[in-house]
Chain A
């Protein structure tokens, strides 16, 4: 008997897929990708990281704070083995700020990844200077390797 209702067909398909790929039957058709770091490494072909855009400007729309503006990094990964991660980190030690974003890669997942650590609010009264020193780091990490792709000292202008 063929069910005539489209939802019934889809529901049956879903149910069968769920059970077949589940722990009891365990067909490997749907492989859930791990989200935590493991062994492995990744080859990086290009990095777009506009470090000159790191600066401190006033918040808008009535936020009444200043922001350390941290640009997004765009990393093109050529090949991946295992489960390494990309780590993007921007620090301004004098303001006690460290922003980071990570991306866990999976075997065979080459492509371009965006790492967005986001801006960080600073209370205006905490800004005592016009220029701060900061560092930018971009690394490939895993349990077996730690490769530094970008390590830069930057000057962070306060533009208020």
Chain B
């Protein structure tokens, strides 16, 4: 019996180490989750989520098509609803299926515990485990047996739990699926931090890796989207995981451990393939980029290795192919290519729950931002349809009739002759190819328009290219640097690149497959950032992006790039406590400044967001200045100056994340009631 328990805890530890690396990684993950919970509002922020949330309810009830709409829009359509064979479908099924076990778990637990206290209990439990691990880490560093952290931390959690429990408000049962959906995104965001921690930890010391993990979690736009169940955070996580597995495979190949290398390489392809389940086109671009860099840099490309890679890619894409097959009868036709259901049609869909808005608890709040997003997804899907217009309708027409012929149930078309299958495969492929080439071409043309590039990356203000009407004319769309001012450090990148290119030219006879694993990984990251930026450029700038969310998957990769600059990672190792202190001071300063200005100048929403935008740009300038200075003249810029230059924008971003959640964007009730009772005492926009 005891041996079994020991074996089990040993296995658990092994799995834990496999995922989190070490206790630091685990504490990082827990800490991020605890932080995300603080500004978690249960509800729907962006109208696109109505469709996916309804689809989640459908899947958790055991079918892919939407029959009831517990989350509904009272007016207009649910963006991104698609139709096949007379049934309505959502999209992003990969993301949805990730959340389904969570829905079941929450529903099962809600038999024992009321939903509101369940959320509070989950947060408190996570916080307690976090406290316990931080206490162990602290003991390790200070060599004391005092357990102050443990006592103070546990006491604090107990007090917060009590406040939350005593002031608890009712959360309707209908909120459980959306809450689970949000938790799944928070898990993805926290895991992004851990994967970045581990990826950076391969090349640099732990303080640098931890700083990168914290930065991506709560000092970048990933934190903004952490509790908003859009696909972007998940795709970003899968992208980063692909890079991590790629890096491990290059290391293993370099050590001549071919079998291990092949394993990680296959893992990278499985992960890349999984992206197609959530967004087929993003998956396509990922797989193509990965394959190019992988084939060029791999030390072994024998037939056996390539066969394993193809198999891995197939395995990764299999869930997507099966889902498509079940929905449209055509494995390569993702829901996004099916006929869109728009306009008033949605209101005629079979539905049971007619009480709009109640799902999120308080649907009346923040209608301004809420209603804003309808057009955004129209933009996305319009883009898809744009290249394919007529063909699109035709294809779905055929597939629609096919699935009706084949009966209402899903498994039967296996008997379809192979020839017929190939015929149908060709249908969506042609428009898809047009779409891909158009996307790349249009993206390239945006690169040559400085104004537009500036509106995407530098300064938003009131950008002429954005239709602000859906957001009630609030200028809430930040650019990339305004949203993640740490990217000011990218200013030093050209210098670094020129230097490394110089070095490379001197060793011109070394083939890419002989480059160091680190350089090979840097190449993949560069290629992925370039591709995932390029394909979305033609759609940007756009409203309801908030932090250029289409480019969110590149944010962890760019953060990796920032950390890989010598003028960033060297000072962090030298002056880690200065970084921590600077970051904490900057966060508190940013919070006080933001609250003070909102109250003192009586700011409106758009003004508050733009105030932060300007503040963050200032932080980005300081960051860029110190990092560039250190790169050009290392002797003149001490490490402490650089880490303060990094801590400043990081803290300002964290302050913006917290304030955006607690003050600026109110679309639903706070998950934690001890936060709800706090917010009336904060100034309001």
Q: Which residues of A contact B (CB under 8 A)?
A: 5-7, 9-11, 13-15, 17-19, 21-24, 30-35, 59-65, 67, 69, 72, 102, 113-114, 116, 118-123
Contacts and interface: CB of A to CB of B under 8 A. Distances in A.
A10 B680 contact: no
A13 B161 CA distance: 10
A118 B607 contact: no
Interface of B: 110-114, 116-118, 121, 124-125, 128-129, 131-132, 147, 150-151, 153-155, 157-158, 161, 165-171, 361-362, 364, 368, 459-462, 468, 472-475, 601-607, 610-611, 613-614, 669, 680, 684-685
Contacts, number: 149
Nearest to B615: A61
Contacts of B364: 102
B154 to A, nearest CB: 4
B604 A22 contact: no
A59 B114 contact: no
Nearest to A53: B602
B462 A32 contact: no
A27 B55 CA distance: 36
Contacts of A9: 154
B166 A35 contact: no
B128 A22 contact: no
B600 to A, nearest CB: 12
B158 A22 contact: no
B87 to A, nearest CB: 33
Contacts of A31: 168
B105 to A, nearest CB: 15
B162 to A, nearest CB: 9
Q: Which of B118, B459, B607, B684 has the most CB of A within 10 A?
A: B607
A118 B605 contact: yes
Given A18-B112, A61-B614, A7 B607 contact: no
A6 B601 CA distance: 45
> What 8 A-B pairs come out closest when comparing CB atoms?
A62-B461, A119-B604, A64-B462, A121-B473, A61-B610, A6-B154, A116-B684, A7-B128
A38 to B, nearest CB: 12
Contact of A114 (B474, B613, B684): B684
Contact of B169 (A19, A32, A102, A116): A32
A34 B606 CA distance: 32
A130 B371 CA distance: 29
Nearest to B162: A17
Nearest to A69: B602
B165 A30 contact: yes
A62 B475 contact: yes
Contacts of B129: 7
A1 to B, nearest CB: 17
A7 B150 contact: yes
A17 B157 CA distance: 14
A64 to B, nearest CB: 4
Nearest to B116: A32
A79 to B, nearest CB: 20
B158 A13 contact: yes
A114 to B, nearest CB: 6
Given A14-B121, A14-B124, A62-B462, A30 B610 contact: no
Contacts of B132: 5, 7
A10 B128 contact: yes
Given A60-B607, A121-B474, A65 B112 contact: no
Given A33-B170, A119-B604, A61 B613 contact: yes
A159 to B, nearest CB: 14
Interface centre among B165, B473, B601 (most CB of A within 10 A): B473
A120 B607 CA distance: 11
Contacts of B607: 59-61, 63, 67
B472 A121 contact: yes
A122 B110 CA distance: 45
Nearest to B129: A7
B668 to A, nearest CB: 11
B155 A18 contact: no
Contacts of B166: 30
B605 A119 contact: yes
Contacts of B151: 6
Given A10-B154, A19-B112, A65 B669 contact: no
8 contacts: A21-B117, A33-B167, A33-B169, A34-B169, A35-B361, A35-B669, A62-B459, A64-B462
A20 to B, nearest CB: 10
Contacts of B614: 61-62
B461 A10 contact: no
B78 to A, nearest CB: 24
A62 B607 CA distance: 8
Contacts of B114: 21-23, 32
Contacts of A7: 128-129, 131-132, 150, 153-154, 157
B111 A24 contact: yes
Contact of B680 (A15, A69, A114): A114
Nearest to A99: B368
A31 B167 CA distance: 8
Contacts of A32: 114, 116-117, 168-171
Contacts of B121: 14-15, 18
Nearest to B115: A32
Given A62-B462, A69-B604, 6 more contacts: A5-B132, A17-B117, A17-B161, A60-B611, A63-B474, A69-B602
A34 B669 CA distance: 12
B362 A35 contact: yes
Nearest to B476: A63
A34 B474 CA distance: 32
A14 B120 CA distance: 10
A10 B131 CA distance: 12
A59 B606 contact: yes
Contacts of B157: 7, 10
B477 to A, nearest CB: 11
Nearest to B110: A23
